[in-house]
Amino acid sequence: MSELRLLLGFDYGTRQIGVAVGQAITGQARELCVLKAQDGIPDWSRIEALLREWQPDALIVGLPLNMDGTPSAMSARAEKFARRLNGRFNLPVHTQDERLTTFEAKGQRMRQGQHGDYRTRPVDALAAALLLESWLTEHACA
């Protein structure tokens, strides 16, 4: 992983896609934004603008698995999104088990006193940061 310095993480969803940025050196990630999607299809120009701005070395896409580790109904769609990112932008794309990241993100928001409607205060970008940090932790010694 030594050649990977900056990464963008994506929490894929059919209506919203959370985006986070992370650094391999610190192993930390932070929320960037939430992109709108139409039935899972993002505004590719927004993703292109983020890639131009941040110039990541690789992209990490959350893979929504069932609690027993088997693929969920959304897994195939997330993998297709990952393949499209790779095909469009020619960057390495990795998937990361994202089980419980949205649950954990909601819990963090509540602990920070940021209760409320998740439609107006989505947790997708925070979930993207959490899945990106878990990928960085798993690959720290790789």
Q: Would residue 48 count as lying in a domain? A: yes
Poorest-pLDDT segment among 11-15, 66-70, 99-103, 117-121 = 117-121
Tell me, yes or no, whether 17 lies in a domain.
yes
- Per residue, what are the HEC states of 64-102? CECCCCCECCCHHHHHHHHHHHHHHHCCCEEEEECCCHH
3 state DSSP class of 124: helix
Q: Do the domain assignments include residue 72?
A: yes
Q: Highest mean pLDDT: which of 29-43, 61-75, 119-133?
A: 29-43
Task: Please report whether residue 130 resides in a domain.
Answer: yes
Residue 114 inside a domain? The answer is: yes
In a domain, 1, yes or no: no
Is 95 inside any structural domain? yes
**Partners of 7 in the β-ladder:** 22, 58
pLDDT band at 104 (very low <50, low <70, confident <90, very high): low
Q: Decide if 67 is inside a domain.
A: yes
9 vs 3 pLDDT, higher one: 9
Q: Which domain holds residue 42?
A: 6-138
Tell me how many domains the chain contains. Answer: 1
- d(CA 64, CA 71) in angstroms, rounded, equals 7
The structure's pTM equals 0.84
- CATH number where 25 lies: 3.30.420.140
